[in-house]
Every structure is written in structure tokens, then in C-alpha cells.
């Protein structure tokens, strides 16, 4: 099975960093647990990106179970490239995804 290459967009990196900082402020090392969980889902996405449902426009959505986040990404089948466009907290307004 061919894995896809993952690229994390600048805005998704900012989402991750803000959440990492927030969780570490709540409890020691919780930010690291958050980061590890997100990374685990990135690996799942890389193995089989088409197993995740379509979201808005041309994106797909992966629901993170332990933390209230969705990973929003695009897939280019020809180049085997996945772009993570957002790591989206579920309390945010879904209309914000329309701007991706």
C-alpha cells in the first residue's frame, strides 16, 4: 500500500500550536499528548485518505476522538499528496471552513 505524503499548511500549523499551548497551560504535558494524538491521525490519513468522508468543497474530514477536533484535508490522487488545511476545534463556527 502506497502512503501519501502529508504537508501541513501554515494555518493548520497555527491551529496546532495554539491548541498545544492551550492544553499545556491546562495540565502539564497535555499539549504533548494532543500533538501525539494529532500526529497519530496524520499517519492514519496518509495510509488511506479516501476512507474519510467528504467535508465542504473539495476537502475531507477526520474526526479526532480524544480531543474535540476535526482534521480537514485535501487529497491529490495523482501526486499522492495530502494537504492538511485545518485542525479545527469543534466549537468553532463551521462556516469558517467555507473560507478554506
CB 46 within 8 A of CB 82: yes
Can you give the pLDDT at residue 95?
A: 64
* Superfamily holding 5-91: RelE-like (3.30.2310.20)
Across the chain, which has 100 residues, the per-10-residue mean pLDDT values are 88 96 96 97 95 89 96 95 94 66
10 Å Cβ neighbour count for 27?
Answer: 9
10 Å Cβ neighbour count for 20?
Answer: 17
Residue 85: CB partners within 8 Å, gap ≥ 6? 9, 11, 12, 59, 72, 73, 74, 100
- The model's pTM is 0.89
Amino acid at each position: 500500500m502506497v502512503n501519501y505524503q502529508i504537508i501541513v499548511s501554515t494555518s493548520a500549523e497555527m491551529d496546532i500550536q495554539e491548541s498545544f499551548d492551550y492544553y499545556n497551560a491546562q495540565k502539564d504535558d497535555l499539549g504533548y499528548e494532543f500533538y501525539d494524538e494529532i500526529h497519530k491521525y496524520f499517519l492514519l490519513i496518509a495510509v488511506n485518505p479516501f476512507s474519510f468522508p467528504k467535508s465542504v468543497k473539495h476537502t475531507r474530514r477526520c474526526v479526532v476522538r480524544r480531543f474535540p477536533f476535526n482534521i480537514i484535508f485535501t487529497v491529490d490522487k495523482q501526486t499522492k499528496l495530502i494537504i492538511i488545511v485545518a485542525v479545527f476545534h469543534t466549537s468553532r463556527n463551521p462556516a469558517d471552513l467555507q473560507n478554506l
